Amino acid sequence: MADRLARRLHRVPPTIFTTMSALAARTGAINLGQGFPDQDGPPSVIEAAVAALRGGRNQYAPGPGVPELREAVARHQRRCYGIDLDPADQVVVTAGATEAIAAAVLGLVDPGDEVAVTEPYYDSYLATIEMAAAVRRPVGMRRVGEEFRLDVDALRATVGDRTKLLLVNTPHNPTGAVLDATERAAIAEVAVRHDVVVVVDEVYEHLVYDGRRHVPLATLPGMAERTLSISSAGKSFSFTGWKVGWVTGPAELVAPVLSAKQWLTFTNAAPLQPAVAHALDHETAYVEELAAGLQSKRDLLCDGLGKLGLDPVRPEGTYFTLSNVSTLGWPDAMSFCEALPGRAGVVAIPTQPFYDDADAGRHLVRWAFCKETSVLERALDQLSNADLTA
């Protein structure tokens, strides 16, 4: 069957998460691979969804999303960031952030156009850019001591007049970096200079630690008119299975996204959309507690991995830490992750699939800490009783 696969998918490997979650299921290992929480989000939001299911909200929602969710997203952007949006034409609801990204690329990019993208990238970026027949131009995040930072020299060298779109993720999966003021200013500078549209994946906007704040690129001078901001209920409210996301920005950029989106799903999750509106308006405290809890879990996992000689970074945001397995003698992260369920009963994710630059990602393993504390403790216990050397 492989020879029947369309050429546009030849360079897109199957998602590593399917492979590694299947490995976890087969071996009964603790899954610190795929980034989903093991506890559901707020009960009030589930009740709102049940009420919508029982209340006759079960037919197609409008293509751009139900009005109450578009209005709640606009209120959220105003309350959190001072961004003013007209819910009528500056907010579109999507089937998760994933569809928002796909619709943005398909709606704004022609075959052969250059798309600059932060690397390592979320794996759907690669697939989406390939399906759009665009040319991917990675811009690396580099490890500097205990953290990863955007390589701003590489950014300046990569983004130019041929760049149609710059796809940025902050807080950044998998490195955990939250773009700082210098990095944000560099992005705005190159985007304005070369008249580039910037698409920012902000799904971890609220999951930032140590008193940090996420600052949307759309709030920088010259950026509101060229920036699409993408987020989702999955990460903020622990409903990753709902796949309700949204994209916001100037009407001139949101319209092309909607043009593509209407032919992808048209619409989705009608009864869940009002529930997510309820979450955005009423569950701010949940999100704050979630972030505080994740910060403690980050510390638990990073301290534990550090004691095992795995050299983790301490992420500024997201669900993940990266660690370097070359310190234990492994030739690459893939062989480490393949051996790990047998050695320790734990699954983690090799980051090579998230890089064009194979050397940059060769030794990096991603570990998720969005799990119950007892699960993290058990995983660390098993890891510390295992031989983790190559």
Among residues 31, 169, 248, 273, the one that binds ligand PLP under rule CB under 6 A? 169
Quick one: 85 or 203, whose CB is closer to ligand PLP? Answer: 203
Among residues 240, 295, 351, 352, the one that binds ligand PLP under rule CB under 6 A? 240
79-118: contacts with ligand PLP (CB under 6 A): 96-98
Task: For residue 227, state whether it binds ligand PLP (rule: CB under 6 A).
Answer: no
Phi first, then psi: what are they for 6, rounded to 5°? -60, 145
Task: For residue 273, state whether it binds ligand PLP (rule: CB under 6 A).
Answer: no
Task: For residue 236, state whether it binds ligand PLP (rule: CB under 6 A).
Answer: no
Quick one: 238 or 240, whose CB is closer to ligand PLP? Answer: 240
User: How open is the CA angle 290-296-297, to the nearest 5 degrees?
Assistant: 85
Closest distance of CB 58 from ligand PLP, Å: 22
Quick one: 233 or 383, whose CB is closer to ligand PLP? Answer: 233
- Please give the Cα distance from 147 to 144 (Å, whole number): 5
Binding mask 116-135 for ligand PLP (x = CB under 6 A): ------x-------------
Quick one: 245 or 350, whose CB is closer to ligand PLP? Answer: 245
Quick one: 97 or 186, whose CB is closer to ligand PLP? Answer: 97
340 touches 32 (CB < 8 A): no
* Residue that has been written with the tokens 């004691």 in this structure: 307
Task: For residue 353, state whether it binds ligand PLP (rule: CB under 6 A).
Answer: no
- Please give the Cα distance from 162 to 140 (Å, whole number): 19
Task: For residue 345, state whether it binds ligand PLP (rule: CB under 6 A).
Answer: no
Closest distance of CB 350 from ligand PLP, Å: 16
Among residues 107, 245, 271, 345, the one that binds ligand PLP under rule CB under 6 A? 245
**b/e sequence 149-178, b meaning 16+ C-beta within 10 Å:** bbbbebbeebbeeebbbbbbbbbbbbbbbb
Bond preceding residue 174 cis, omega within 30 of 0: yes
Closest CA to 167 of 220, 209, 109, 225: 109
- Please give the Cα distance from 254 to 262 (Å, whole number): 12
Sequence-ordered list of residues with C-beta below 8 angstroms from that of 138, at least 6 positions apart, any chain: 116, 117, 118, 119, 121, 158, 355, 356, 357
Task: For residue 248, state whether it binds ligand PLP (rule: CB under 6 A).
Answer: no
Amino acid identity, position 131: M
Binding mask 20-49 for ligand PLP (x = CB under 6 A): ---------------x--------------
Closest distance of CB 335 from ligand PLP, Å: 25
- Surface-to-core class of residue 283, CB atoms within 10 Å of its CB (0-12 exposed, 13-18 middle, 19+ buried): buried
Quick one: 234 or 350, whose CB is closer to ligand PLP? Answer: 234
Region binding ligand PLP by CB under 6 A among candidate stretches 152-160, 188-196, 237-245, 298-306: 237-245
Quick one: 235 or 363, whose CB is closer to ligand PLP? Answer: 235
Residue 193, H or E segment: helix 181-193
Task: For residue 201, state whether it binds ligand PLP (rule: CB under 6 A).
Answer: yes
Q: How many helices (H) and strands (E) does the chain have?
A: 14, 13
Closest distance of CB 105 from ligand PLP, Å: 13
Instruction: Give the residue closest to ligand PLP by C-beta.
Output: 96
Quick one: 271 or 345, whose CB is closer to ligand PLP? Answer: 271
190 touches 165 (CB < 8 A): no
User: How open is the CA angle 314-319-320, to the nearest 5 degrees?
Assistant: 50
Closest distance of CB 308 from ligand PLP, Å: 25
- Residues engaged in binding ligand PLP (CB under 6 A): 35, 96-98, 122, 169, 173, 201, 203, 232, 234-235, 240, 243, 245
